[in-house]
Structure 1
Amino acid sequence: MNARIYRPSRTATQSGQARSKNWVLEFPPEFAPQIDPLMGWTGTRDTRRQVRLWFGTQAEAMAYAEKNGIPFLLEEPKPTSRKILSYSDNFKSTRLGQWTH
């Protein structure tokens, strides 16, 4: 199975870019989850699924995978655009909707 190298997107609840500039190498699941008959908990024999490696650049992640013989798929990040707004934009005369309290 191929490992996945990607750059995670920022969380939807935060506007900051923390943890979204690094690259991640993670492994896909090899075994299906199993339900423990006694307790009913879900578990797996797959320990590689728990491993998530963080790298500063895409080249570092690719070099690590190639050095250790790990086949990988590279996912390029989607470009993001931010619309910068200020508080005064709420009171513009060219605003489409009327501002009310």
Structure 2
Amino acid sequence: MAARIYQIPKNAMQSGRARTDSWMLEFEQSEARWPDPLMGWTGSSDTQSQVRLTFPDKDAAKAYAEKYGIAARVYATPPKTLKIQAYADNFR
């Protein structure tokens, strides 16, 4: 049972930064999905892939994974880059 630990990214539709300081432990899929012939939806009998656990920091998520014997990989948060641009740059 493998999992990944990552920081929740900011939603692209939001300008605020609410709930972006928490960390998520999400289980990886253990089997392939298959399409439902009637509806066309994808299905799976893997119920662990539906589980998402939220933690206040990275250390708490790693401690939980170690406590329950979950092989977890930590994904680093990419650095935030700001593109500073003035309104006058639109007319250059």
TM (norm. structure 1) is: 0.75
Structure 1, gaps ≥5 residues long: none
CA deviation after TM superposition for structure 1 residue 84, in Å: 7.0
**Which residue number in structure 1 is paired with residue 43 of structure 2?**
43
> Shift of the alpha carbon at 1:39?
4.3
Task: Provide runs of 4+ in structure 1 moved above 3 Å.
Answer: 37-41, 81-85, 95-98
Separation (CA, whole Å) in 2 of partners of 1:79 and 1:41: 36
Residues 80, 43 of structure 1: alpha-carbon distance in 2 compared, 3 angstrom cutoff: same
Q: What is aligned with 1:24?
A: 24
Task: Give how far 1:96 is off.
Answer: 3.9
Q: Out of 71-80 and 11-20, give the one that drifted further.
A: 11-20
Determine the structure 2 residue equivalent to 1:75. Answer: 75
Summarize deviations over 1:42-94 as a string: whole Å, max 9, x none.
21101001000000011100000000000010111112144678xxx64xxxx
Counterpart in the other structure of 1:54: 54
The CA RMSD measured in Å over matched residues stands at 2.3
Identity within the alignment, %: 46
**Which deviates further from its counterpart, 67-76 or 15-24?**
15-24
* Structure 2 stretches lacking a partner, 5+ long: none
Bigger radius of gyration = 1
- Aligned pair count reads 92
Tell which has more relative contact order, 1 or 2 (C-alpha 8 A, sep 6+). 2
Post-superposition offset of 1:11? 1.5
Q: TM-score, normalised by structure 2?
A: 0.82
